[in-house]
Structure 1
């Protein structure tokens, strides 16, 4: 099992627009074969979010990254982000 935590900082005042798009990403990603968990979380820092994801295997991760919704919604979310996300890839032990 593989995990991904993508930490994102959103521009001040753009939180609502970001959340709307991010929740579209969550709903679409949860439908992917091999996706075990996909959620959006707010951190304790204002304007900071984290996507928490779990996948069956590497093929499922790659399928997610190549999906139309990841590319289209991800590009749209970029307009509301402050810099690039920090991505932590995890392997279950």
Structure 2
């Protein structure tokens, strides 16, 4: 199975669900080579998504235009403060 099919099978449904519910999907374990495939799949499903790897835990955030990059940075900081990392 190639990386795009792997992303379709293992990540796409969760990403769509989170984007539909919250406008943002967080993934701290996706590889850099696979993130582009997930972004492409989301675009193929009609979503206009921005994606960044944000500190402090360097999670990948896939998000709609409801969020600015600064919003995502602020949310990432709050997530870090609330996590056990």
TM bracket (short chain)? 0.3 to 0.5
* Structure with the bigger percentage of strand: 1
Q: TM-score, normalised by structure 2?
A: 0.40
Give 1 or 2: higher helix fraction.
2
Structure of higher RCO (CA pairs closer than 8 Å, 6+ residues apart): 1
**TM-score normalized with structure 1 length:** 0.37
